[in-house]
């Protein structure tokens, strides 16, 4: 069974966001969702800049389709072939971990198979250590702590969509320590304006990208806040340009980006941060791409009455409409924008959207429709969150 794909990515908590991110970067034809938690990619693992992906937790090299999707067949294949694979590795102790996604097995089934595989490899004369599973999938910390992506070690990942199963090998996993540092160790943070996770900032930047910008393209965040989107774009090689209505936020962004350059050795000084109301500001040219989290409206600890909620939505909508009208004549035709805008959770898994999103052509924009992700799936949210973030991708006509 041949496949044109050479990479498989394990997606994050909200898989649709990860798929849309991949589609934005590589194009719809290169991406194929696979089961509920993975995506196949027609790009060699060595050519995937995994560190810039916020919506995927693992990058795997596709090894082979498996002869069965049933656990019994998968187990038989692994027990037969793991000792053969081990013989082809350089001498030394081998550390093996296995993760299962979409496979109908119990943890005890996997534990028994791992013990049998360990005995078979040992019988061939090779020392081996098995990483014990707490669940069917090892987490990123386990993969990193046990060095499973280092030469001579393995994390074998079996992924099934119920019709086809693939055996893959993990090439790299998310840098959880790097994300934590860029989120929690920054010198300037402010919970009152919301704290955008660096992973989500990466997704926003990547969905704004067509994958064709030549470095250094210039990225504008018109609501830059503490600079999270700008920091992630800078790490990707963009020249970054931010503005914000509040002087304090401008100072915070400048301080955080200065810290970033020192901490992560970001090359270049192509950074511009300025004070400006996004509904009336005139930005410096050029602007190659626009990405950011907009004004999310009044912060809420409880859901207000329908009347008060309507006032909040109307006020927030007016600001967004003024912003879109203001920036439109300042953008070249074809400029792409990805904006994280507010969506209010009135009932579980149902959101009230900004009314202006239904009138984008009147403002000079066309909405981008993703092939592999539905519009209603592109809402970043957490449990019991009253105001979620809808990711909207539009293009200047």
Inter-residue contact 380 to 17 (CB < 8 Å): yes
123 or 289: which carries more pLDDT confidence?
289
- At CB < 8 A and 24+ separation, what contacts does 140-147 make? 140/57, 140/58, 140/173, 140/174, 140/176, 141/176, 142/97, 143/58, 143/97, 143/170, 143/173, 144/173, 144/176, 146/95, 146/97, 147/95
Query: Within the chain, where are the H helices?
Result: 15-26, 71-87, 107-123, 140-145, 176-184, 198-208, 228-235, 247-264, 306-327, 360-363
Q: Is the pLDDT of residue 346 over 90?
A: no
- What per-residue confidence (pLDDT) applies to 65? 96
- What per-residue confidence (pLDDT) applies to 285? 96
Mean pLDDT of 369-378: 95
Q: Which residue is listed with tokens 């791992």? A: 114
Q: Is the pLDDT of residue 84 over 90?
A: no
Rounded CA-CA distance 10/59 in Å is: 7
Average predicted confidence (pLDDT) for the chain: 92
Pick from 97-101, 121-125, 132-136: least confident: 121-125
Query: Within 90-168, where are the H helices?
Result: 107-123, 140-145
For the chain, domains (ranges, CATH) are: 7-174 (3.30.2130), 177-396 (3.40.50.150)
For the entire predicted model, the pTM comes to: 0.94
Q: Is the pLDDT of residue 215 over 70?
A: no
């Amino acid at each position: 069974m041949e496949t044109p794909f050479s990479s498989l990515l394990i997606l994050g908590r909200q898989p649709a966001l990860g798929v849309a991110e991949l589609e934005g970067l590589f194009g719809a034809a290169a991406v194929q969702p696979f089961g509920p938690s993975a995506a196949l990619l027609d790009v060699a693992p060595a050519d995937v800049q995994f560190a810039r992906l916020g919506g995927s937790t693992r990058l795997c090299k596709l090894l082979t389709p498996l002869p069965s999707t049933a656990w019994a067949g998968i187990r038989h294949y692994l027990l037969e072939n793991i000792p053969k694979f081990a013989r082809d590795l350089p001498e030394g102790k081998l550390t093996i971990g296995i993760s299962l996604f979409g496979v109908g097995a119990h943890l005890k089934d996997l534990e028994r198979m791992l013990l049998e595989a360990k005995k078979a490899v040992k019988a061939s004369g090779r020392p081996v250590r098995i990483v014990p599973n707490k669940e069917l999938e090892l987490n990123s910390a386990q993969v990193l702590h046990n060095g499973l992506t280092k030469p001579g070690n393995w994390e074998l990942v079996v992924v099934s969509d119920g019709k086809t199963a693939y055996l893959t090998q993990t090439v790299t996993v998310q840098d959880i320590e790097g994300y934590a540092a860029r989120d929690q160790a920054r010198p300037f943070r402010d919970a009152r304006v919301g704290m955008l996770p660096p992973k989500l900032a990466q997704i926003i930047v990547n969905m704004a990208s067509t994958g064709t910008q030549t470095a250094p393209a210039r990225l504008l965040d018109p609501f830059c806040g503490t600079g999270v989107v700008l920091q992630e774009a800078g790490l990707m090689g963009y020249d970054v340009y931010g503005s914000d209505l509040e002087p304090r936020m401008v100072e915070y962004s400048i301080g955080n980006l200065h810290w970033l350059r020192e901490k992560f050795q970001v090359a270049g000084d192509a950074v511009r941060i300025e004070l400006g109301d996004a509904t009336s500001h005139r930005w410096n040219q050029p602007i190659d791409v626009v990405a950011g989290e907009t004004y999310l409206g009044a912060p809420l600890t409880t859901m207000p009455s329908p009347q008060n909620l309507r006032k909040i939505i109307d006020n927030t909508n007016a600001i967004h409409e003024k912003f879109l009208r203001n920036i439109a004549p300042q953008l070249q035709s074809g400029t792409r924008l990805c904006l994280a805008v507010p969506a209010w959770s009135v009932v579980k898994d149902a959101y009230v959207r900004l009314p202006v999103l239904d009138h984008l052509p009147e403002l000079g924009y066309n909405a981008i429709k993703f092939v592999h992700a539905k519009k209603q799936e592109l809402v970043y949210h957490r449990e019991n969150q009253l105001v979620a973030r809808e990711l909207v991708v539009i293009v200047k006509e």
